[in-house]
Amino acid sequence: MASLPSLRQLKYLIALAENRNFTRAAAACCVTQSTLSAGLKELESTLGANLVERDRQRVVITPLGAEVAARARSLIAQAEDLVELASGAAEPMCGTLRLGVIPTIAPFLLPRVLPGLRVKYPKLKLLLREDLTANLLVRLRSAQLDFALIALPYDTGGLLEQPLFDDEFWLAGRADDPVFKSKRLTVTGQITERLLLLEEGHCLREHTLAACARSATPNPSGIEATSLLTLVQMVESGIGLALVPEIALKSGVLKRTGLVARPLAAPAPYRTLALVTRPSSARTAELQLLADFIVETHQRDERAVLTSRGRTRRAP
């Protein structure tokens, strides 16, 4: 039987492929440069192929080396899933859990969820990372994250999706904007042409564009915001209008501004918040536990709002 490369050797190759520098790759693996170099030579000997081209000025990963590194990431992820399977079988929602969250969800949902989560699962150490959806999914596939909290629709490329709840978009603008004189607000014509967008990479941008799919092109000015908070400030300055998620409104994103938000006529555009993970993940049971907790927290907050305001729907 042919000898097989070790996970340690594969981790060395991944580190070098990501850092393109032996010193930085060794530091990332917490080993000396000579140890890393020796491990890579052993890997090349085992595979019978050159994976790295070395000289004093630069490090070049060969095409085969890049392919091996890509497959190695998947192998490492599966190996880590085996470890999680064993530890999670003893006691779920215990130990470290790495959760990625997109910027248009994190500041509005996490403050409502985290305090109760710490109480219910005191042995859980949650490590959070905020980033754009595409970046989170890359980290998820390479096992740098356990779960990601994103907004659908989004092409997750075969990842396991656990929908949580729908989050409607409301129309936000200045209180004196003539558009709010209309009794029925829809994302068409005049409104669409004045909608501002987040910059490329934000799924909220794509959701806004999808809401306008059958109407005029939004944001003809080309002005784009880097965050939802910046988008709100731009609307307050009178540049245009924006579609704002309901969870952001309920978290007070419009407080201390001169803006108002109104619901759109049915069927109103919305996004679906969801947790995603790798299909091979050994933590799918914990995914369901976390999903259930988030949904329960959201439903409890919704009931509290209805109780305090009555059944008439008002702007958050």
pLDDT digit string (tens) for 150-209? 999 999 999 999 999 999 999 999 999 999 988 788 887 788 888 898 888 888 888 888
Look at residue 74 in the predicted model and tell me its pLDDT.
Answer: 83
Same domain for 24 and 160?
A: no
pLDDT above 70 (res 313): no
Strands 242-245 and 52-54: unpaired
CATH code of the domain covering residue 39: 1.10.10.10
Would you place residue 230 in the very low, low, confident or very high pLDDT band (cuts 50, 70, 90)?
very high
**Per-residue pLDDT reduced to its tens digit, 246-302:** 999 999 999 989 899 999 988 889 999 999 999 988 888 899 999 999 999 999 988
> Are 190 and 292 part of one and the same domain?
yes
Query: Do residues 77 and 223 both lie within one domain?
Result: no
On whether both 54 and 102 belong to a single domain, the answer is: no
| pLDDT for residue 91 | 74
- Mean pLDDT of all residues in 130-149: 94
Q: Are residues 111 and 234 in the same domain?
A: yes
- Among 85, 103, 124, give the residue marking a domain's end: 85
- pLDDT: is 82 or 76 the higher one? 76
Pair 153, 231 in one domain: yes
Question: 119 and 215, same structural domain?
Answer: yes
What angle, rounded to 10 degrees, do the helices at 284-309 and 106-120 form? 110
89 pLDDT above the threshold of 60: no
169 plus 247 within the same structural domain: yes
Tell me the pLDDT band of 135, cut-offs 50, 70 and 90.
Answer: very high
Is residue 168, in this structure, part of any structural domain at all?
yes
In this structure, the answer to whether residues 118 and 148 fall within a common structural domain is yes
What CA–CA distances, in Å, run from 266 to 7, 35, 65, 127?
A: 54, 63, 53, 38
- Give the total number of structural domains in the chain: 2
Residue 100 resides in a domain: yes
Of the pLDDT bands very low, low, confident and very high (cuts 50, 70, 90), residue 217 is: low
Range of the domain at 241: 94-316
Q: Domain boundary at 39, 55, 85, which?
A: 85
Domain boundary among 67, 85, 103: 85
Asked if pLDDT for residue 316 goes beyond 80, the answer is no
Q: Quote the pLDDT of residue 138.
A: 93
- Same-domain check for residues 136 and 242: yes
